[in-house]
Amino acid sequence: QEFANQLTSSAGQTTAFGSVVTGIFQGVGQQLTQFAGQGINAVKGWIQSGVQMNASLEQTQVAFTTLLGSAQEATGFLEELRAFSAATPFEFPELADASRRLLAFKFTASEIIPMMTAIGDTVGALGGGAAEIQRVVFALGQMQSKGRIANEELMQLAELGVPVYQILGDAFGKSTAEIQEMVSKGLLPAKEGINVLVAGFNELYGGSMVAQSQTFNGLMSTLKDNVNLALGAFTGGIFDTAKLALIDLGNLVSNPAFQQFAS
C-alpha cells in the first residue's frame, strides 16, 4: 500500500512538473511571438520612414533643380546643405525649406549657406527654432523683393530680439531715429542693408550654432537627421521599385481597355 501511495505521489509530481515545463515553453513561445511581431512592425516602420524620406528628398531635388536651373547644380547644393545641417542643431528638411525660400526671393546659391549660417547663429543664440528661422528668412526676403529696407520687416526681426536698428546705426554712424527716418524714406537699398544686417548677425552671434549643436537637443537633432538620411539610403532600392510599380499601375488604370472593363 505504501509503495502504491509513493507511486501515485510520484506520478502526481511528474504531472505537475510537466505542466510547469509546458507552461514555461508556452510563455517563452508567446514572448518570442510578441518580440517577432514587434520586430516586424519596427522594420515596417523603418521602411515606411525611409520611403517617405526618399519621396521628400525627390521633391526637394526637383524644387532646387527648378530654382537653380540645373539638376547637377541642385545636387551639389543639397550635398553642401546636408553637410551644413550635420554641424548645426537644425534638421535638414527645415534648412532646405528656408534655403528654397531664399532662392525664391532671388538670392544667389552662393549667398545661401553664408546667410543660413548667420541666420542659424542668430536664431540659435536667441533660443529659437525652425519657426524663427522662417520668420528671419521671410523678413530678409521681403526686403529683397521690395528692393529696399523697410521698417515693417525690421520690426519683425526686432520682435525676435535682434537689435536691427543698432546694427544699422553702428554701420552707418547714425542714431536709431536717423536710421528709422532713412528707412521710412526708402533711402537704404536692400542689398546694402541686408549685407550690413547679415554682417551684424555674424558679429553678435557668430558661432552660437556650434555651441547649440553640442547640447542634448542639438545632438538629438543631429542624430535624427543622420538616422533619417541613413534610412533613406537603405530603402533607396525599395523606393525605386515602389515608384516603378506606381507608374505601371497608373498606366494600367489609364488604359481605355481597363476603364471599359472596370465599368
Q: What is the pLDDT of residues 72-94, one digit of tens each?
A: 999 999 999 988 887 788 888 88
Residues 124 and 132: their CA atoms lie apart, in Å, by 9
| Sign of the dihedral through C-alpha 110, 111, 113, 114 | positive
Cell numbers for 66 = 527648378
Q: Which residue would you say has higher pLDDT here, 119 or 258?
A: 119
Lowest mean pLDDT among 90-104, 124-138, 234-248: 234-248
Instruction: Assign 2 a pLDDT band (cuts: 50, 70, 90).
Output: very low
Residues 247 and 242: their CA atoms lie apart, in Å, by 9
Cell numbers for 62 = 526637383
Q: Which residue would you say has higher pLDDT here, 164 or 243?
A: 164
Q: Tell me the average pLDDT across 222-232.
A: 66
| Percent of all residues in the chain with a pLDDT value above 70, rounded to a whole number | 60
Cell numbers for 213 = 549643436
Q: Which residue would you say has higher pLDDT here, 176 or 4?
A: 176
Q: Which residue would you say has higher pLDDT here, 67 or 256?
A: 67
Residue 211 has pLDDT above 80, yes or no: no
Q: Please give the C-alpha separations between residue 248 and each of 162, 240, 245, 254, in angstroms, as whole numbers.
A: 53, 12, 5, 10
Strand partners, 54: none
DSSP 26-42: HHHHHHHHHHHHHHHHH
Lowest mean pLDDT among 141-145, 172-176, 199-203, 227-231: 227-231
Q: Which residue would you say has higher pLDDT here, 105 or 10?
A: 105
Q: Tell me the average pLDDT across 135-162.
A: 95
Residues 200 and 141: their CA atoms lie apart, in Å, by 17
| pLDDT at 6 (0 to 100) | 47
| pLDDT at 21 (0 to 100) | 44
Q: Tell me the average pLDDT across 160-180.
A: 94
Residue 11 has pLDDT above 50, yes or no: no
Instruction: Assign 257 a pLDDT band (cuts: 50, 70, 90).
Output: low
Q: Tell me the average pLDDT across 58-69.
A: 89
Q: Tell me the average pLDDT across 186-193.
A: 94
Q: Please give the C-alpha separations between residue 244 and each of 33, 58, 63, 157, 238, in angstroms, as whole numbers.
A: 34, 14, 21, 46, 10
Alpha helices in 147-235 (DSSP H): 151-158, 164-172, 176-184, 190-205, 208-213, 216-234
Residue 4 has pLDDT above 80, yes or no: no
> Nearest-CA neighbor of 198 among 129, 134, 127, 136?
136
